[in-house]
Structure 1
């Protein structure tokens, strides 16, 4: 009787010759050896199949399938159909995980025998090799369904999920061109079972210039479908938890239209970062305009900007000239859509402050409304402010060290006496 592995890893690969070896090597590096990998060659025309053959020959834990799905969802489904493991993992051909990934995730699942999934944090890897700060959505462990009804909080390969449950749920929805992973996690969460969190960034996700051809309009259209499903009954889930049978509860984190507006905001900021503008500001109307939301809105825009411009936080302020104009325009439009320009300006200040928080200001940074500078605390210069600038963000320097940060609103000129 053949032994069934503990984990089946499904790797869809379409013309992935440049990155596939890195993805498969991270499996060979795992501290836990009890896995199988099903590499699905999805209609590749490059050297992908040769690379897969090399791994299959070298290690019996690798198997290959060929598919003509022309979609990650379809390719993953064919992998699921031959998988034998208790747990499933979906690894895309341009991503990878830490060597301790399987060991730590399985250990977490042991502590919660009724859990249907374990998840960990992730980091994006920019083309220059720089890593973004880790992100881990703690709310998924607390209320998985209410979270996934509204947003896709977890990277595809930052999860181990129960295989039999995924099969019962019907796998990925191939009618969705994007957001298909989100749709599946939402169905999984609707069962009301436990999700366990591993509070470490063990999953690495490559942000590449190719992912910039991603189609925001398609993503928005698909997100609208997934969110609408999250806010209603879903006949695809045969045995939902009674609390989730009729969909998400608005009191637990906002309406469907608000959830879609947050998604649209991220995409709009990402588009600004990559130099394209396709999102209609009207789609942002449902964002909450109050003072306490300005920072949240700035955070989401900041994250989209990183991905669109392929920059880590410390690089953003220096690259302002590439995207600052279109981003500022977007935020002004947001103020108009709200009928509250002051609320828009509040978001602008928050965002500029966040960009400068990550910059060492080795050179002065002039953003839309804020000037970021270093000032010699013992011998400050007086400064004529450029037009439109009404905020100063300054590091006070003594003996070449940053001693303090000061921020203030200002008009016209800052004199020595002012410092």
Structure 2
């Protein structure tokens, strides 16, 4: 694959005030079935016990090294780790997210399909809460190979804790863009890097839910207005370079704004709703009308299908099914997915528990 039978992989964990979750994240990394790892915890100027916890953990797993920097944001922390890394590949994971024990093994195996293993591997994710309990999952897309255009339309990778990426290519792309934070638009650094990599590298999918992506009120992705500003700044130069994708990017921006509004509304986060509503009316009034009509039509078709089934005249098309990865079960712990061998359930694209990507 790479000329190296078992390449060293560097795991980069940016950590800021992460004392509540860091140990669990480190445990999920240390427990990987592929053990040729360098694990770098980058303490981003934490004011709690993050550094002490990471240092103590390094005494029990000598693959762990702890780096420190003044608080500069997640992009600078990741870049710090990447610059210090010795591994051929970089696997970032945020200090509150979790991995399935075979994540790295399966991703590295998937990269073997590419000459010299030069590509990016990703997988689907399970959405987990503060206690590691599953409440949804990402849409199980099947994008592989050249994925630049689909990634413009939807960030289907969906988080910063999933990909396995060649270190040399990350450096060639300039790493994560720390200037977004400097402009008050922290949040889409990972998407910007994925798009830069996708312009020249193929991507490969490991079709399983191998990342436990934690959603909490305090994490970065909860700040809708800042995330939308970040998305706009990331897409602006791409529109300049690829004007033919302008319409797709504008649709992606609308869908992103709609997703955050729905998330805030259902979560009773009325401060975010109050901030987002006037912006959406001002910027997307015509799209909102079209979307409302489309949603009404879809609802009418669902009612019609339900009525036909009740009358014994079902015309429902068979569900599209994917592989045999176990479907994340809401209400169960992410760790339960690998603590025992669960009954395997076929994945359906029509699941009502999917979490739209940001």
TM-score (norm 2): 0.74
Task: Note if contact 2:305-2:315 (Cα within 8 Å) is conserved in structure 1.
Answer: no
1:196 is the counterpart of 2:204: yes
CA RMSD of aligned residues (A): 3.0
State how many pairs are aligned: 295
The one-character-per-residue Cα deviations of 1:273-324 (angstroms, maximum 9, x if unpaired) are: 222212223333464xxxxxxxxxxxxxxxxxxxxxxxxxxxxxxxxxxxxx
Are 2:179 and 1:170 equivalent residues in the alignment?
A: no
For 1:187, which of 182, 196, 199 is the aligned residue? 196
Deviations 1:12-67 (A, max 9, x none): 01010110011100111111110101100111111111110111111221001101
- 1:150·1:227 contact (CA, 8 Å) conserved in 2? no
Gaps of 5+ in 2: 1-5, 181-185, 317-358
Is contact 1:149–1:230 with CA below 8 Å preserved after alignment? no
Q: Give the alignment partner of residue 157 of structure 1, picking from 146, 156, 161.
A: 161
Return closer, same or farther for 1:145/1:174 CA change in 2, 3 Å cut-off: same
Alignment partner, residue 218 of structure 1: 226
Asked if residue 119 in structure 1 is aligned to residue 118 in structure 2, the reply is no
User: Aligned equivalents of 1:254 and 1:349: distance in 2?
Assistant: 28
SS of aligned partner of 2:17: coil
TM-aligned CA deviation for residue 348 of structure 1: 5.9
Pair 248,31 (structure 1): closer, same or farther in 2 beyond 3 Å: farther
* Alignment partner, residue 265 of structure 2: 272
Seen in structure 2, the aligned counterparts of structure 1 residues 19 and 349 have a Cα distance that, compared at 3 Å, is farther
Q: Distance in 2 between matches of 1:212 and 1:349?
A: 37
Correspondence for 1:146: 149
Match of 1:71 in 2: 73
Return the offset for 1:119.
0.8
1:261 aligns with 2:249: no
Separation of aligned partners in 1, 2:138 and 2:150: 19
The normalised TM-score by structure 1 is: 0.64
Tell me the equivalent position of 1:331.
none
Which whole-Å CA distance do the structure 2 matches of 1:127 and 1:59 have between them? 25
How big is the shift at 1:230?
2.6
Measured in 2, the distance between the counterparts of 1:248 and 1:112 equals 30
Contact 1:125–1:132, Cα closer than 8 Å, also in 2: yes
Q: Give the structure 2 partner of residue 48 of structure 1.
A: 50
Which residue of the other structure, out of 132, 135, 160, is the alignment partner of 2:139?
A: 135
1:39 aligned counterpart, secondary structure? strand
Q: Does the aligned pair in 1 maintain the 2:162–2:211 contact within 8 Å?
A: yes
User: Cα distance, 1:123 vs. partner?
Assistant: 0.8
1:188-219 per-position Cα deviation (integer Å, ceiling 9, x unaligned): 1112x211111111111111232388321111
Distance in 1 between residues matched to 2:292 and 2:261, nearest whole Å: 19
Tell me which structure has the larger Cα radius of gyration: 1
Q: Equivalents in 2 of 1:138, 1:249: separation in Å?
A: 24
Per-residue deviation at 1:149?
A: 2.6
> Does the Cα contact within 8 Å between 2:123 and 2:206 map onto a contact in 1?
yes
Contact 2:148-2:198 at 8 Å conserved across structures: yes
Structure 1 unmatched ranges of 5 or more: 234-246, 288-333, 354-369, 371-389, 397-402, 408-419
Aligned to 1:236: none
Instruction: State the distance in 2 between where 1:153 and 1:248 align.
Output: 22
Native 8 Å contact 2:145 2:204 kept in 1? no
Aligned residues of 1:146 and 1:248 also touching (Cα < 8 A): no
1:37 to 1:133, Cα distance in 2 relative to 1, 3 A: same
- Asked if structure 1 preserves the Cα contact closer than 8 Å seen for 2:10 and 2:86, the reply is yes
Seen in structure 2, the aligned counterparts of structure 1 residues 168 and 345 have a Cα distance that, compared at 3 Å, is same
| Counterpart for residue 281 of structure 1 | 280
CA distance in 2, matches of 1:132, 1:40: 29
Residue number in structure 1 paired with 2:109: 107
Deviates more, 1:128-137 or 1:154-163: 128-137
Cα–Cα, structure 1 residues 248 and 342, in superposed 2: closer, same or farther, change >3 Å? Answer: closer
